[in-house]
Amino acid sequence: MNSYFSELKGQTVVVTGGSKGLGKDIALTFVELGANVAISGRNQEALDATLEELRAHNPNCLAVAGDLSDISEVRKLIDTAATEFGTIDVLVNNAGVNIAKPAMEVTEEDWDTVLDLNLKSAFFASQAAAKYMLAQNSGRIINIASQMAFVGYIKRAAYCSSKGGMVQMTKALAVEWAKHGIRVNAVAPTFVETEFTEKQFEDAAFKEDVNRRILFDGLSQPKDTSGAVLYLASNLSNFVTGETIKVDGGWTAI
């Protein structure tokens, strides 16, 4: 009998924005299956704490501090992981930011901050990882998009644009790299209950609006998204590429 996900043991997995929230849960999901995990983040204290948790499962893990809006930092992360572990098998482009403002108040700086981290860094991380994946004729790239790639929402003009671009980028890279054995997919979660969204939901009207759009009771949990990522990283999804899996509790079904 096959042991599902056993193929991930010993693989090298890079998770951007992996020190907190959803990224941390994704990183822990992989390391619990024996993967060698590299995470990135801007907060050294959070990185160190998460790295300690990861190494409790597998000592072959590392953390690289840096602002991925700087493409040189993106390349440093990928090259450091490849040097340490010999290759890159899975890349999860999770790092992201939103600046919640009405469209008429969004500045050029706001726009660039959101697009540079959410979309530009994901493309160049994919490009850097693909250098290693092309050489081995295999690899998985999983982009953390959003339901906001498919629907509009207030105070998210730049964010929706960045995530819509990510879905199209996923398709473009999937088409180009399929012949090299690289599968490129995305996961589009709804609002996930993490320390990042906790403050947002202090706004009772906002929380009520989100809850009425989700068909299930309560908010999505990190494991809901991590499970979809795990599927796309495993042999269970060998015939899937260019796809975006919505983990939105039915938000976009209405």
CA 233 to chain centre: 12
Is residue 159 among the annotated active site residues?
Answer: yes
Closest CA to 22 of 92, 69, 74, 119: 92
Cβ(139)–Cβ(130) under 8 Å?
yes
Cβ(149)–Cβ(160) under 8 Å?
yes
Give residues with Cβ within 8 angstroms of 47, minimum separation 6.
Answer: 19, 39, 40, 41, 63, 65
Determine which one of 4, 132, 159, 231 is catalytic: 159
Structure tokens at 124: 């160049």
Dihedrals phi, psi of 134, to nearest 5 degrees: -60, -40
* Torsion angle of C-alpha atoms 140, 141, 144, 146, degrees rounded to 10: -100
Cβ(162)–Cβ(188) under 8 Å?
no
Give residues with Cβ within 8 angstroms of 98, minimum separation 6.
Answer: 114, 156, 158, 159
Catalytic residues: 159
